[in-house]
Chain A
Amino acid sequence: MTPRLGQQRLVGLFAAGLLALNFPLLALWDHDLLVLGLPLFPAALVAVWALLIAALGLLIESQPD
């Protein structure tokens, strides 16, 4: 992987994260619901956040030095 491509992927992930964690995409989860006994909105926030961290880990560890 070229350094430039890897950095573009990170910028893409940043944009995706910024969108997913803000209005209006985040509002899609904002319902008064319990899913598996857990409140939907906080659970979704934590899950999206975890996904973002996992994707970041995968992308950034494969960056050339």
Chain B
Amino acid sequence: MLSPSLVIGTSLAYLLLLFGVAAWGDRRALQGRSAVGNAWAYALSMAVYCTAWTYFGSVGRAATTGVWFLPIYLGPTLAMVLAWMVLRKMIRIARRWRITSIADFVASRYGKSPLLAGLVTLITVVGIVPYIALQLKAIATGYALLAGPAGSAEVWWRDGTFYAALLLAGFTMMFGTRHLDSAERHEGMVAAIAFESVVKLLAFLAVGVFVTWGLFGGPQDLFARVAAQPELRRLLTLGGSDAFAWGQWFALTLLSMLSVIFLPRQFQVIVVENVDERHLKRAAWVFPLYLWLINLFVLPIAFGGLLFFGSAAQADAFVISLPLAQGALWLALAAFIGGLSAATGMIIVEAIAVSTMVCNDLVMPVLLRTRRFRSRHGGDLTRLLLAIRRAAILGILLLGYLYFHLAGEAYALVSIGLISFAAVAQFAPAALGGMYWKGGTRAGALAGLLAGFSLWSYTLMLPSIAKSGWFPDAFLTQGPWGVALLKPEALFGLAGLDGLTHSLFWSLLANVGAYVGISLWRAPSAREASQAALFVDVGDSAHAGPAFWRGQAAVADLLPLAGRFLGEARARTLFADWAGRVGAARIEDIRADAPFVQFVETQLAGAIGSASARALIASSVQEEPLALDEVMRILDEASQLRAYSRALEEKSASLQRATAELRAANQQLQSLDRMKDDFMSSVTHELRTPLTSIRALAELMADDPGMDAAQRQRFIGIIVTETERLTRLVNQVLDLAKIESGHAEWHNTEVDLAALIRQAAQSMAEMLREQGTELVLELPEAAPPLRADPDRLTQVLLNLLGNAAKFVPQPGGRIALRLRADAQGCTVQVQDNGPGVPREDRTRIFEKFHQGDAGGRRPGGTGLGLPISRQIVEHFGGRIGLRDDAGQGACFEFWLPCAPAAPAREEGDKA
């Protein structure tokens, strides 16, 4: 036992810390540096799904039924698999139309019906109050275990739980209704909830580790002891495949799959508090992972408790009682704080969500009808809105306490939770159907909800109340008025199912049946059709939907209206935003057309719900009702407009592509043109040099007839050499032009490259020997045959050899000629021991007329040898280059593919 002051003090300190986290989150939001604007906080806030019911109740359920606690967490995992499609659509719809609660969602879809909104709210309140009672009960039980009973539960004013409920109400008011936000986002609250999720997970894991490894010798030891006891061993399996048991398994999975979306607090954190729909991608798997982690130790704790205490009587409290019995007082306190975390998190979010619904969908419609309220024009109503919400929060918590006080002791935790789940599952047909089926109507949704809710009350709620002993349960066993067919737990004689599956089957059957049946009864009205189109075709957030409104409105009327509910300053900001969007200079210049009226209505919907906003707008401007065919016309126009805009986008994209292609082609042409100019100027320059010397010598000889014969002979010799050079140059230019234009003649045969190399070496041998250069051949025994023109290849070889000969030192030069062959082709290397090619020249030596610099002396080539060689090698599908890693000297290398290689580029290789 711990002292009450320690437990209460710790709890208060924890709540204070929580408040600190929330205040920090709110402050960050105000500064524009959102603390919860990331996927992790979003995922953790989803874990508000794990309430005290998970924390204490799962263990209790596991201790009595084995793995039957699990479907409640498998369902949400499956739901999250579809989150990227379903929840993302929901988030988009809610964001577009500023929907702030599940009631608003359903009502807005079916023509903004106040009746539907009110019905959904009522169902929620009735369904959720027991769930809140459950949290209070968990806190009370946990406290009693740690520190003894908190006052007397007999009279409420001496019951500690009553004050806990009041404290939590105050807390929730501070979290949720500090200011009015037209998107109903509460960043501080989300931060606190994410924090609580971490606390409860850590506390539960700590207890799990303590039980598994502290109390027992690891999971193997624990389960070995369980297996030794037949009555416990039975809990490790499902006990045979009883078909109805599997039916119940599926029902629980389905139920939790729906609840994880439609519980008000889940809708609040998943849809309303979502900052960015992309966060869903991470949260969709992190949240199931959280569920997985928090369930990992449920069985060990449950079995540990069963083995330790020998009975499942107090199994709901094992999480606290096990550490406590072992004297681990601090761990027990931590476990209590974890449970408190789970309970307060649920209460805070649930109360905020439900209070929004009560305010917008129950109180506001009534207020808007009262004459006094309507006659009071002007005045800021935001304070009134906040006050209504605070009162609603207090009311919900007091109702929860009342339920706890009256019925709390009668039922185990887990059954109460499932009753609430089954209640909110009734929203699924109308909400999901409305997102994907345009045919659903208001009457259908109303009928479905009413039918489902009635059957839920009759087959699940009523029996649970009767079992609490409030009224005789004779009608359970014999049926009302003795009519056995109407027995609530075996309706129409359907026996054999457990109570929950039975109720879920009948209520969902009636719900879906009525929803679809009545919807098909008659065509949707104009307003239903327009809202259906807006929901089903929500698309991405870029396009605004069509505006369904016609009438006379004035900005002068709408501004004060928005000001009353949104606050004067905020309304002016919003109107100014709109003015900027439509290009109006001042707010007064805004044209009050259909999109603008719709914009104002949407903003109001964020504050007071879509149904109330609709009623307000309708009462403040002159409207003309739209007929169904007009709605259809607007929809047609909108879809045509969308199609046009899509076509336009496609056209502009293809134009952009064409422009880019043209630009690239133009650039290529320009560079080709420049290359041609360069080539021309190079050729003329190369021609002019020998021509100049020929002319000079010829003039000298013409001017001096008496020149001596030896001199004349020498001049003539020079003239002949220069002419030869000219001829060679012209030949090479012609050659290159032919190859480039594809008019060259190629005489392809089978070529033995090794023989060709020997031949080329032989023809150069004499000249090399004269200049004192050593030529080394490194040839393999046999080389695969190539298909090429032998004369052209010889031309390449001679060119490379000649280049090498020009650059080697004289004497002492050394040229190595290597051939290597593999399956793909042959590589020929010509390596010399000359100065090598400077790094900056390496890329340019294959350009036309670029000549290497042989250490100051002019090599005396034409500058066309290498370009021609490259053309030839590439013609045969090979490549030529300069090796970087040759060490000293230059090493040219070309590679040719083996025969039979089709000439790779017969045409088109002009570059």
Bound together:
yes
B861 CB, min distance to chain A CBs, angstroms: 57
**B288 neighbours in A (Cβ, 8 Å):** 52-53, 56
* Contact flags A9-26 to B (C-beta < 8 A → 1, else 0): 011011001100111101
A11 CB, min distance to chain B CBs, angstroms: 7
CA distance in complex: A50, B219 (Å): 18
Residues of B within 8 A of A (CB): 66-67, 70, 74, 77-78, 80-85, 219-221, 223-224, 226-227, 233, 236-238, 240-241, 243, 246, 249-250, 253, 278, 281-282, 284-285, 288-289, 292, 295-296, 299
**B284 neighbours in A (Cβ, 8 Å):** 56, 60
Point out the residue from A31, A34, A60 that lies within 8 Å of B84, measured CB to CB: A60
Point out the residue from A27, A45, A56 that lies within 8 Å of B81, measured CB to CB: A56
On whether the beta carbons of A36 and B220 are closer than 8 Å, the reply is yes
Which single residue of chain B is at the shortest CB-CB distance from A16? B81
Question: Mind listing 30 A-B residue pairs with CB under 8 Å?
Answer: A11-B82, A14-B78, A17-B81, A18-B253, A21-B74, A21-B78, A22-B246, A22-B249, A22-B253, A24-B241, A24-B246, A32-B236, A38-B220, A39-B226, A39-B227, A39-B237, A41-B236, A41-B238, A42-B66, A49-B74, A49-B292, A52-B288, A53-B289, A56-B80, A56-B284, A56-B285, A60-B83, A61-B281, A61-B282, A63-B281
Point out the residue from B77, B81, B227, B282 that lies within 8 Å of A49, measured CB to CB: B77
On whether the beta carbons of A38 and B223 are closer than 8 Å, the reply is yes
On whether the beta carbons of B82 and A10 are closer than 8 Å, the reply is yes
Number of A-B contacts (CB under 8 A): 105
On whether the beta carbons of B292 and A46 are closer than 8 Å, the reply is yes
**B85 neighbours in A (Cβ, 8 Å):** 7, 10-11
Which single residue of chain A is at the shortest CB-CB distance from B226? A39
Point out the residue from B67, B84, B243, B246 that lies within 8 Å of A45, measured CB to CB: B67
CA distance in complex: A45, B70 (Å): 9
**B289 neighbours in A (Cβ, 8 Å):** 53, 57
On whether the beta carbons of B77 and A53 are closer than 8 Å, the reply is yes
Known A57-B285, A63-B281: A37·B223 in contact at CB below 8 Å: yes
**A45 neighbours in B (Cβ, 8 Å):** 67, 70
CA distance in complex: A51, B282 (Å): 16
The count of residues in chain A whose C-beta lies closer than 8 Å to any C-beta of chain B is: 35
Most buried by A among B227, B284, B295: B284
Which single residue of chain A is at the shortest CB-CB distance from B286? A57
Point out the residue from B223, B238, B281 that lies within 8 Å of A34, measured CB to CB: B223
B111 CB, min distance to chain A CBs, angstroms: 30
On whether the beta carbons of A17 and B219 are closer than 8 Å, the reply is no
Which single residue of chain B is at the shortest CB-CB distance from A17? B78
Other contacts beyond A34-B227, A56-B77: 15, CB < 8 A: A11-B82, A11-B85, A14-B82, A22-B250, A27-B246, A34-B223, A38-B220, A38-B223, A42-B66, A46-B292, A46-B296, A49-B292, A52-B77, A53-B77, A56-B81
* The 8 nearest A-B residue pairs measured at CB: A37-B220, A23-B246, A57-B285, A39-B236, A14-B81, A27-B241, A56-B285, A53-B288
CA distance in complex: A39, B232 (Å): 12
B193 CB, min distance to chain A CBs, angstroms: 22
Most buried by B among A57, A60, A63: A60
**A57 neighbours in B (Cβ, 8 Å):** 285, 289
A54 CB, min distance to chain B CBs, angstroms: 8
**B70 neighbours in A (Cβ, 8 Å):** 45
On whether the beta carbons of A23 and B249 are closer than 8 Å, the reply is yes
CA distance in complex: A53, B78 (Å): 9
CA distance in complex: A46, B529 (Å): 46
On whether the beta carbons of A37 and B281 are closer than 8 Å, the reply is no
**B227 neighbours in A (Cβ, 8 Å):** 34, 39
CA distance in complex: A45, B312 (Å): 23
Known A32-B233, A45-B70, A60-B284: A7·B223 in contact at CB below 8 Å: no
**B278 neighbours in A (Cβ, 8 Å):** 65
**A7 neighbours in B (Cβ, 8 Å):** 84-85
On whether the beta carbons of A10 and B223 are closer than 8 Å, the reply is no
